[in-house]
Amino acid sequence: MFGMFPKMIIPVLVYIAVAYASAMSGGGAEGFVGDIDRFQSGTCAGMENAAPDAEPCREGALNGTLFSVDMLSGGVWTLSTGDIILILGLVFLFIEMVKSANSGTSTIVNHGLSMGVFVICLGLFLMAPLFATSTFFLLTLMTLLDVVAGFTVTAIAARRDLGAG
């Protein structure tokens, strides 16, 4: 039963939980993604193009620093919530790749459910403002890679089992 469960849904659910929790706690979408559009245009307080009465930009929960590590090079490595979600996505993508080498009914069901996860992610990315971020785009791309690789590996394994290749 657990083998049929598409593991790529876990980082997607984490993203959804963080997105809605931070958006509901105040500030709407800006509470989640921050004022990235104002930052990119340079109109935050203290920036060159900012008006004298401009407010400072907010990082938002997705781009906010969770922790930072001083490196031997003297640089500082910072990890944000979005980075952690992407790391989680890569770990589960690896698990899905390893699982796709198996054959059987549960593998076929898993591929179908993984396709469903991809379609839902694509719909959210295209239609919901909280999901129109690079982090969620990369998660959506990982779900697509899971689907394509799963079907490809299963087809190659089936062809080998049938002696056709």
What pTM, to 2 d.p., does this model score?
0.83
- What does the pLDDT look like over 74-114, one tens digit per residue? 999 999 999 999 999 999 999 998 887 776 778 888 889 99
Among 11-15, 45-49, 121-125, 145-149, which is the least confidently predicted range?
45-49
Could you tell me the maximum CA-CA distance found in the chain, to the nearest angstrom? 73
Q: Quick one: pLDDT band at residue 55, thresholds 50, 70, 90?
A: confident
**Vertex 13, ends 2 and 111: CA angle to 5°?**
45
Token pair belonging to 112? 């179908």
